[in-house]
Amino acid sequence: MRRPHRRLASTCIGTVTAGLLASGAALAAPEPGPPAGSGSGSDIAMGAYLDYGPPGVARIPYLSRWLGGKEIRVGHTYLPGDRWTGIEGSVDFLEDWAEWRQARDDRMFVLNVPMQAHNEDRVSDWQVARLIRAGARGDYDGHFRKLAERLVELGVPDTVVVLGWEMNGSTYTHRCGPDPENWKVYWKRVVNAMRAVPGQKFKFDFAPNRGADAIGWTHCYPGDDVVDIIGMDSYDQSPGRTFDDQVTQPYGLQQHVDFAKAHGKPISYPEWGLFRRGDNPEYVRRMLAWIEQHKPLYHTITDYCPHGVWQCKANPRSAKAFRTALTPRKPDPVTPTPVVPTPVVPTPPVVPTPPVVPTPPVVPTPPAVPTPPVVPSPAVPAPDATTPKPPSPQVPSPTPTPTPTPTPTPSPVVPAPDVTPVVPAPEPSASEIPVPLPSTPDATPANPSVPPVVPSDPVPVPSPTPTPTPSPSGVVPSPAAPVLPVLPVVPVAPQPNPPATNTTQWCVPINFGEWLSKLVGHQAVCIKIDWSRNSLWPF
């Protein structure tokens, strides 16, 4: 893109320009800020070319205020290319830019540097080719060494140097097309000459025009060792009718991004803005969105007519789109949430826990030994101890009365006539007599102190027929009550039942285990306890 002539006639021009700063500032007076909540929160370094000298420095805070406080971190200017003294940095306005750069560490100073004198004088291609070959021989190294020394002396050794910008076009004398190979050699000599100055930290930006222009810009690329940033100048003009065309065309925006990525370099947009299509807010919005998407190291809009948006009143719609997109968004006011105090519930006093008493160890219970079945001892038959008493003769009385049934009383056994007497069996020992179950209610002994007599299997004895005795009064006595036969007692297997109440004898079966019971048999032990008054038993 052709720049307006930047000839410095004398130092008086700079003085007059500084004096006219007030009027320039009035022309660029900031407008009221946009509504809160709009704008981009991007932290990409942004700037604008506002003027090459002190007015450009003075207008930066006004542009920032117009953008709602957006920080302008990039200061951008050009060295005059009419004479070699200007390319060497022998101009006063560099001091103003150096002072602005040193005010904050996060600021960036971008300086466009021509590679030839008479840079905008429409020099022919054959003359350009001759100048390129001279530069490749090293004829101009001293001019660039002086520039490097000047920048280090001013305190801006980290300046971004946009060397020989738009070299793929046809405007400037430092163009590449007439001799691309020697042009690349010339670029390397300039970079090496400036890097040889002690204290320098320069970054060199290779920035062609978008599109093929006079030559594809990739044919002019001098190499990764002498390029730090790959930039691109892109205005709203041909080639390409729409912004999408500008992206996809050969040597367009997309190829620029891809090329830089392939070479491991950051990108930049040192110049961009409106041009052939006038006030075009769609271009502004799309370009800012592209910048936000691909995150260049920096970008600066060319802000003078016909390219600008702030200092050019011919582009109001584009100015509004630019301002809306870059004004920082302010957060919505936060409504404080009322704090509801939580009622404090007093904590009850801590009750001390009693000491834990250790639990004694659990003694395992031995396995239960099965009790062998109790084998009943054979019952020994005993003689019948009860014999019905012969009826007594009744005394006659005037009124006959019923004769009561005689109660059997234990008495010695009287053998009946003509009957073989029953020989009583020897009485077994107390340990061999099982506890009998009562057969009838009448067999319960009346006297609890006398042990019951266990009847044995009785031998049937014919009851004698009583002979009636004549009564003196002639009354025939009533026949005696028939004697009920004594039923035999069926021996019952002894049960381990508890003894009768208040008995003096307890029989307990003893388990000798399975193997010992086979030897001695199942036995029972009966214990007799004295319940007399003199004993210690409490009942």
Give the model confidence (pLDDT) of 37-73 as tens digits.
344 446 899 999 999 999 999 999 999 999 999 999 9
pTM: 0.58
pLDDT at 405 over 70: no
Phi, psi (5° rounding) for residue 144?
A: -80, -25
Find out whether 52 and 94 touch, Cβ atoms under 8 Å: no
CA distances for 147 relative to 95, 98, 476, angstroms? 13, 14, 180
pLDDT at 391 over 50: no
pLDDT at 125 over 80: yes
Residue with tokens 């729409």: 242
3-state SS class at 224: helix
pLDDT score for 329: 81
Give the model confidence (pLDDT) of 270-305 as tens digits.
999 999 999 999 999 999 999 999 999 999 999 999
Q: What is the mean pLDDT of residues 168-196?
A: 97
- Choice between 436 and 182, residue whose per-residue pLDDT is larger: 182
Find out whether 113 and 79 touch, Cβ atoms under 8 Å: yes
pLDDT at 225 over 80: yes
Find out whether 300 and 268 touch, Cβ atoms under 8 Å: no
pLDDT at 412 over 50: no
Find out whether 116 and 173 touch, Cβ atoms under 8 Å: yes
Say how far apart CA 313 and CA 279 lie, in whole Å: 10
CB environment 85-113: b (16+ within 10 A), e (fewer): ebbbbbbebbebbbebbeeeeebbbbbbb
Say how far apart CA 240 and CA 249 lie, in whole Å: 7
Q: What is the mean pLDDT of residues 374-380?
A: 49
H-helix or E-strand containing 322?
helix 316-326
Say how far apart CA 308 and CA 323 lie, in whole Å: 12
Comparing 27-36, 360-369, 402-411, the range with the smallest average pLDDT is 27-36
The CATH fold assigned to 11-326 is TIM Barrel (3.20.20)
The residue type of 369 is V
Say how far apart CA 451 and CA 382 lie, in whole Å: 14
pLDDT score for 524: 63
Give the model confidence (pLDDT) of 457-501 as tens digits.
444 444 444 444 444 444 444 444 444 545 555 455 555 555 555
pLDDT score for 43: 83
- Long-range Cβ pairs for the range 373-379 (8 Å, 24+): 373/522, 374/494, 374/496, 374/509, 374/522, 374/524, 375/521, 375/522, 376/434, 376/491, 376/492, 376/493, 376/494, 377/432, 377/434, 377/494, 377/524, 378/491, 379/434, 379/454, 379/456, 379/491
How far is C-alpha 268 from the chain's CA centre?
42
Q: Which of 234, 238, 284 is nearest to 256 (CA)?
A: 234
How far is C-alpha 242 from the chain's CA centre?
49
* pLDDT grade for 510, boundaries at 50, 70 and 90: low
pLDDT score for 51: 97
Structural domain boundaries of the chain? 11-326, 500-539
* pLDDT grade for 337, boundaries at 50, 70 and 90: confident
Find out whether 97 and 156 touch, Cβ atoms under 8 Å: yes
pLDDT at 260 over 90: yes
Give the model confidence (pLDDT) of 12-23 as tens digits.
344 434 443 433
Of all residues in the chain, the percent with pLDDT exceeding 90 is: 52
3-state secondary structure 44-105: CEEEEECCCCHHHHHCHHHHHHHCCCCCCCEEEEECCCCCHHHHCCCCCHHHHHHHHHHCCC
Angle at 290 between CA 287 and CA 296, to 5 degrees: 105
Q: What is the mean pLDDT of residues 392-398?
A: 43
Q: Which of 218, 131, 223, 127 is nearest to 167 (CA)?
A: 218
